[in-house]
A and B are shown apart, each in its own frame.
Chain A
Amino acid sequence: MAKAVLMQGNEAAVEGALAAGMRFFAGYPITPSTEIAEKCALRLPQVGGKFIQMEDELSSMAAILGASAAGYKTMTATSGPGFSLMQENLGYGMMAEIPCVIVNVQRAGPSTGLPTSPSQGDYMQARWGTHGDHPVIAFSPSSVLETYTLIIRAFNLSEKYRTPVIFLMDEIVGHMREGVVLPDPNKLKINPRKTSFHDGAHKKCYYVPEGAFVPSMKPFGQGERYNVTGLVHDESGFPVNNSAIADKLISRLLSKIDDHVDDIVRVEEYQMEDADTAIVCFGGTARAAMDAIEAARAQGMRVGMFRPITVWPFPEKPLKARLPQLKRILMVEHNHGQMLLEVRRAVSGAVPVDFLGRIDGTVISPAEILANLNEKEAN
């Protein structure tokens, strides 16, 4: 067995990204994500990759889209204020179907907020931050090892679905160090960039044949001349002002995710077999929930954890499958109740959904969760 190494969550994001084939990073320093930029600056040239510190987050997002169009697997990393600045070009990436990964190590907001304090307040922004109807894939890791393996999946799905993927970390996981045994790099499944057109004859870069759900594009400079735009475009990539084509394009952008939810969604269920109470949580919050569940079980409560690893699309189906056995759901998150809205929507009143959250920059402790469970049990 390989030796365990001490690694920080932010470092694991970089090492996982490199294992996934990321060779271009553009970013702007911001707490608590800065270690990611620093590590990329150190590691990328060692493997022939490129690192650039841009003048702001708007240009960082633009640069990774440009580099991706030139054939690279690309990434940027930021936190709340920078994530806000990236939203317009994030939408461009979705519209133009340019793969890339955006890491957001969340901190307490709004605005500059509490720069060094943990939060999960960007959950809804990850879904709805950019304007218009658009698809979103977002993952949230809860350990250092999962940061490594999950970011590889983020890159893989980004290529498979040709869309930016949001990697929603939090300060809890980003800044903690654990001993990890990384998987054998030769055994990792890596989706390579597709480098030919589906429609070789007509060179229609956005042509999607029967049975496929995304176009397949050659990078710039490989012998084809095509157009990319953020405007509504036809299969040849040129802007059109045609409602039928607009409907077809936007519908495909949405359905390429909606039709493959089962492929995209992953959840962790812990002690759920006999549970009548489910704690729903994601990211670093799960760590307090795990300890609380252990303590609650020791007191005889039947509590389990339902943890969306894929946070967008929200894992509606697996949660609904658990409803018949549940008396109660407790949503625990470091915000004022954001995933709570999705849980309540999915549950539609079938089971009471309570909420435990924090917006003060401090971490929800296992004792706090346990107290909440005890209080309900007593009632």
Chain B
Amino acid sequence: MPSDLIHEYMRIDHLPQIWCAGCGNGVIMRDVAVAIDQLLKDEEYDFDRDDFVIVSGIGCSSRAAGYLDFNSIHTTHGRAIAFATGIKFANPKLKVIVLTGDGDCSAIGGNHLIHAARRNLGLTVICFNNHIYGMTGGQYSPTTPNGDVAATAPYGNVDRPFDIALLATGAGASFSARGDVFHARETTEIIRKAILHDGFSLVDVYSICPTSYGRQNHKGSAVDMLQWQKENLIPTAQFHAMSEQARAGKKEIGILAFNDYPEYTDEYAKVIEACRKQTGGKGRN
């Protein structure tokens, strides 16, 4: 029996989803649904479910837009953030959530990611980061670790990888965070805060891909990959309590950048207001 959450927020007739057994994407999709559910039920906030718009690009991650029962738009490869920019800027009351992947948002769509971060337009970008091109069968992505094997790196990947959360931070994101599949509760809370954030927010969520990434790199089963996340991806409080030495090879799960920058649509509203004053309250047409 599907849970109430699935009944409420998933498009049941489009399930089961297409993801492989052991894929982490379903967990991230569920985290997003739980975060939205919490916000809709929270009396402190006045969110309308119909104001949520899910925007996705192309790749395994991006199929999530079709399963979530909200306004949804599944766009072209790499351009989800650019479509989302149009949606949010046109109608700032909409809560626009971009579901994307590591290739979608940091290779073909990398330019849109950094510029959206720089503008601080109020989008929430959730990157399903499985460190590989899964849908096309395991080619290396900008987050595939150096030396790993991929369908297009049969002798080992010579590229140096991006850390997407740090990339967004460097591009001036007012909210940048890292989550993972193993720490689902913590990640859900990060996503909830990202949606609440008034400005651009990015959550780089480490997924697991036993089929296209794990198998080529002898990472074992999905359970083994989750075990790796448990041991190497450490929630903020714990991470900060660790010695420099103990942190070696491990990464922090949590909010990495949080700044109060002016939000883009608010700033543009001021432009419109100033213009209207200048033209005596009405323009031509």
As a 0/1 sequence over residues 13 to 48 of chain A, the CB contacts with chain B under 8 angstroms (1 = contact) are 001001100001010000000000000000101111
Instruction: State in angstroms the CA–CA spacing of A55 and B114 once bound together.
Output: 10
Q: Is B197 an interface residue (CB 8 A)?
A: no
List A contacts of B89 (CB < 8 A).
Answer: 24, 50, 52, 63, 67
Least CB distance, B261 to chain A, in whole angstroms: 17
Chain B positions 79-132 with a Cβ under 8 Å from a chain A Cβ: 79, 81-91, 93-94, 111-112, 115
Instruction: State in angstroms the CA–CA spacing of A275 and B111 once bound together.
Output: 55
Q: Is A317 an interface residue (CB 8 A)?
A: no
Least CB distance, A239 to chain B, in whole angstroms: 7
As a 0/1 sequence over residues 258 to 285 of chain B, the CB contacts with chain A under 8 angstroms (1 = contact) are 0000000000100110111011000111
Q: Is B163 an interface residue (CB 8 A)?
A: no
Q: How many residue-residue contacts, CB under 8 A, span A and B? A: 153
Question: Are A229 and B73 touching (Cβ within 8 A)?
Answer: yes
As a 0/1 sequence over residues 311 to 330 of chain A, the CB contacts with chain B under 8 angstroms (1 = contact) are 00000000000000000000
List B contacts of A56 (CB < 8 A).
Answer: 111
List A contacts of B112 (CB < 8 A).
Answer: 55, 59, 62
Question: Are A66 and B74 touching (Cβ within 8 A)?
Answer: no
List A contacts of B276 (CB < 8 A).
Answer: 45-46, 48
List A contacts of B87 (CB < 8 A).
Answer: 66-67, 69-70, 220
Question: Are A55 and B111 touching (Cβ within 8 A)?
Answer: yes
Question: Are B85 and A220 touching (Cβ within 8 A)?
Answer: no
Question: Are A66 and B90 touching (Cβ within 8 A)?
Answer: yes
Instruction: State in angstroms the CA–CA spacing of A71 and B91 once bound together.
Output: 8
Name A41's closest neighbour in chain B (CB-CB).
B271
Q: Is B224 an interface residue (CB 8 A)?
A: no
Least CB distance, B74 to chain A, in whole angstroms: 4
List B contacts of A74 (CB < 8 A).
Answer: 86, 90
List B contacts of A222 (CB < 8 A).
Answer: 50
Category for how many chain A residues contact B: 35 or more
Knowing A46-B276, A46-B283, A222-B50 are in contact, say whether A63-B83 is a contact too (CB < 8 A). yes
Question: Are A70 and B75 touching (Cβ within 8 A)?
Answer: no
Q: Is B71 an interface residue (CB 8 A)?
A: yes
Q: Is B76 an interface residue (CB 8 A)?
A: yes
Q: Is A224 an interface residue (CB 8 A)?
A: yes
Name A231's closest neighbour in chain B (CB-CB).
B74
Question: Are B50 and A65 touching (Cβ within 8 A)?
Answer: no
Question: Are B86 and A63 touching (Cβ within 8 A)?
Answer: yes
Q: Is A72 an interface residue (CB 8 A)?
A: yes
Q: Per a CB cutoff under 8 Å, which of A45, A66, A88, A225 touches B50?
A: A225
Q: Which of A62, A224, A225, A238 has the most CB of B within 10 A?
A: A62
Beyond A47-B283, A54-B82, A55-B111, 13 additional pairs, beta carbon < 8 A: A18-B285, A46-B279, A50-B89, A54-B115, A59-B112, A66-B73, A66-B83, A66-B84, A69-B87, A74-B90, A224-B71, A225-B49, A231-B74
Residues of chain A touching chain B, judged by Cβ–Cβ distance below 8 Å, are 15, 18-19, 24, 26, 43, 45-48, 50, 52, 54-56, 58-60, 62-72, 74, 88-89, 92, 96, 185, 219-231, 238-239
Shortest 8 CB-CB contacts between residues of A and residues of B: A66-B86, A46-B283, A62-B82, A59-B82, A63-B86, A67-B90, A67-B86, A66-B83
